[in-house]
Amino acid sequence: MTAPVTPRELLIVAVARLLDGVRHVAVGASSPIPAAGAMLLRALKEQQDETVRVSILGSNEHNFFTNGGVELFDCAAQGRIDAFFLGGGQIDGHGNINLVGSGPYPQTTVRWPGSFGSSYLAFLIPRLILFREEHSPRVFVDKVDFISAPGASAPEVYRPGGPVALLTGLGLFSFDRQAGRFTLRSVHPGHTVEEIVAATGFTFDIPEIVPTTPGPDAATLALLRGRVQEEVSECYKEFAAAWRAETQQPVPA
- 127 in any annotated domain: no
Q: What is the per-residue pLDDT across 38-72, written as a single tens digit (0 to 9) for each?
A: 999 999 999 999 999 999 988 888 887 877 678 89
Asked whether 162 and 187 are in contact (CB, 8 A), the reply is no
Residues 114/150, Cβ–Cβ less than 8 Å:
no
Within a domain: 76: yes
Q: Are 144 and 97 in contact (CB under 8 A)?
A: yes
Whether the pLDDT of residue 188 is over 80: the answer is yes
Asked if residue 243 is part of any domain, the answer here is: yes
CA gap 8, 35 in Å, rounded? 12
Asked if residue 250 has pLDDT above 70, the reply is no
Q: Round to the nearest angstrom and report the end-to-end CA distance of the chain.
A: 21
The range of the structural domain enclosing residue 75 comes to: 1-86+217-253
Residue 126 lies in a domain: no
Q: Which residues contact 154 (CB under 8 A, 6 or more apart)?
A: none
Rounded mean pLDDT, 215-233: 96
Q: Tell me, yes or no, whether 31 lies in a domain.
A: yes
Determine the Cα–Cα distance for residues 118 and 131; give it in Å rounded to an integer. 13
Q: How far is CA 196 from CA 159, 179, 185, in A?
A: 30, 21, 12
Report helix, strand or coil for 152: coil
Reported as a single tens digit per residue, the pLDDT across 189-223 is: 999 999 999 999 999 999 999 999 999 999 999 99
If one counts the domains in the chain, the total is 1
- Residue of 87, 174, 99 lying closest to 132 (CA atoms): 87
Provide the mean pLDDT of the chain: 94
- 8 Å CB contact between 207 and 184: yes
Write the pLDDT tens digit of every residue in 96-150. Answer: 999 999 999 888 999 999 998 999 999 999 999 999 999 999 999 999 999 999 9
Q: Does the residue 159 lie in any domain? A: no
Q: Is 92 part of a structural domain of the chain? A: no
Q: What is each CA distance from 104 to 46, 94, 111, in whole angstroms? A: 48, 19, 11
Residue 139 inside a domain? The answer is no
